[in-house]
Amino acid sequence: MEKSICTYGYIPVRKEPAEQAEMVTQILFGETFDVFEIEEQWAKVKLHTDDYEGWINSKLIKDLSIKEVERWEQAEKWKVPGPFVKVVTEPDKQTHFISGGSSIFLNTADRSSFIIGATEYYISGNQNPDKPVGSITDVALSFINVPYLWGGRNFFGLDCSGFTQLVFAILGVSIPRDASQQVNSGQIVSFVEEAVAGDMAFFDDEEGNIVHVGLCLGRGEIIHASGRVRIDKFDHQGIFNNDSKKYSHKLRVIKRVLGV
């Protein structure tokens, strides 16, 4: 079985091996994955981050040894803080924008650079990998106004569960990819009034299916990806959209992951 590391800002993962197929998630820079089926120019992969499976364009797979991938996978990595960082490669001097939540193994003596294969990357600007990332509220707010994108989980486009997964990833906490999976994490918070910053609120449809998730901010507010990453009012009924002045999502349950 082949293994690799994502060396792009992100790689789209599709439901079927076709460009027009639904994008179900994305592999972020530095994330590792298995390749276990090739179909023409498409490869079926499984992400090590959350075991998600799908199809990617095989041209985007960097040829690396299994040993190098496993060393990268097992190493302690820097989770890029939101919203993004810029890196420059040597020797070609190309610029890459890497979303918050991406994973970097700082595998050189210089804490501002790293190597994947034969390529060396230099972190541009004043980013300090040793600097604390801040509170969960700080991290969530760094993605404010990022547009909604089905299957998205990076600074350039997020869906609701991609947003919550990304925020927790930056804080070093792993949760599943989809809202229907994330609802099984953590402990139930019985009342909206008891919700604190970082609690996850889940919302269902008329059939009882979990269809949306957001992060409580406390003070009766929630930040979530709906059209864009936005802040709305939140109570026992659900989310009250500040623009439409109507309830947009019906509350099902609140779960606490942090501190559990």
Given a contact cutoff of 8 angstroms between Cβ atoms, the answer to whether 222 and 228 are in contact is no
Given a contact cutoff of 8 angstroms between Cβ atoms, the answer to whether 91 and 122 are in contact is no
Tell me what pLDDT residue 247 has: 97
* The two structure tokens encoding residue 64: 């690396």
Q: Give me the phi and psi of 71, to 5 degrees please.
A: -65, -45
Mean pLDDT, the chain, integer: 96
Res. 260 pLDDT band, cuts 50 70 90: low
Task: Identify the sign of the CA torsion 226, 231, 233, 237.
Answer: positive
Question: Measured between alpha carbons, how far is 175 from 258 in angstroms, rounded to an integer?
Answer: 11
* The two structure tokens encoding residue 205: 């449809």
Average pLDDT over residues 79-101: 93
Tell me what pLDDT residue 127 has: 83
Given a contact cutoff of 8 angstroms between Cβ atoms, the answer to whether 35 and 61 are in contact is yes
Average pLDDT over residues 244-251: 97
pTM for the whole thing? 0.96
Lowest model confidence (mean pLDDT) among 18-22, 90-94, 152-156, 157-161: 90-94
Question: Measured between alpha carbons, how far is 258 from 241 in angstroms, rounded to an integer?
Answer: 26
Question: Measured between alpha carbons, how far is 173 from 190 in angstroms, rounded to an integer?
Answer: 23
Question: Measured between alpha carbons, how far is 219 from 234 in angstroms, rounded to an integer?
Answer: 9
Res. 1 pLDDT band, cuts 50 70 90: confident
Instruction: Please determine, for residue 96, whether its predicted confidence score (pLDDT) is greater than 70.
Output: yes
**Percent of the chain topping pLDDT 90:** 91
Q: What is the pLDDT of residues 221-242, one digit of tens each?
A: 999 999 999 999 999 999 999 9
Longest dimension (CA), the chain: 56
Q: What is the pLDDT of residues 99-127, one digit of tens each?
A: 999 999 999 998 899 999 999 999 987 78
Average pLDDT over residues 150-170: 97
H or E stretch at 228: strand 228-234
Domains belonging to the chain, first-starting first, are: 1-130 (2.30.30.40), 136-256 (3.90.1720.10)
Average pLDDT over residues 159-170: 97
- What's the Rg (C-alpha) of the chain? 19
Average pLDDT over residues 11-23: 97
